[in-house]
Amino acid sequence: MALQSKKKNKFVKAWMQEHVNDHWVKEATRLGYRSRAAFKLLELADKDKLLRPGMSVVDLGSSPGSWSQVLHEKLGPRARIVAIDLLPMEPVRGVRFILGDFRQDEGLLAVEAALEGRKVDLVVSDLAPNLSGVESADQARSVHLGELALEFSRKWLQPGGDLVVKAFQGEGFQEFQRAMQGHFDKVYARKPKASRDRSREVYLVAKGLRSQSVQIAEIAG
């Protein structure tokens, strides 16, 4: 047990040292973003033309709020932004935050109530599972979260709307990517510069939700 504790402490110290010296962490602090993740969304938005003023957006897995900060900053005061997370989030101007579990009916219904029956232009999901250390189980949980984001998007995105989902390369990744391709015109796998090189993290950017009638016709064909 003592050996395991020493290894864990060594890992934590190494991570903290890397974190403190991280370029993106320093930039986030300088610019007032709550985490380095802000730069991931900024890069994706620039590359894939995701954001425009006045949009309606749902931010899944929003805490601590850096993506919500970017959304408010880029979309302006007329935008409608709804965010949800299991963890508390300090208020972000122009963002309606829901403290809840998106995987459960109660959390999902709270998001839907906040939308008041109006569909959205963009769904962004930075959802990630609590890691157990068992790679196969963690990967399965990650894919499941992506599937939930896709299911939500199919219901609440406008035709032509876009979806951004955090994913991890591994078992089930390609199948999930193909599932997204079945509903959107284009799907790209992106590795933002602010993602750590050693991480299997990527973001799937799905552009142009096809209408249900088009999807049905393609399946029938």
> Mind telling me the catalytic residues?
166
CA 131 to CA 195: how far, in whole Å?
A: 17
Q: What is the DSSP string of 33-95?
A: -SSTHHHHHHHHHHHHT---TT-EEEEES-TT-HHHHHHHHHH-TT-EEEEEESS-----TTE
Q: Hey, which residues does 99 pair with through a beta bridge? A: 85
Question: Would you give the DSSP letter of residue 191?
Answer: -
Kindly provide the b/e burial profile for residues 137-172, where b requires at least 16 CB atoms within 10 angstroms of the residue's own CB.
ebbebbbebbbbbbebbbebbeeebbbbbbbbeeeb
Residue 4 sits at φ, ψ, to 5 deg, of -60, -40
Q: How far is CA 212 from CA 97, 115, 200, 207, 215, in A?
A: 29, 20, 32, 15, 5
CA 6 to CA 128: how far, in whole Å?
A: 27
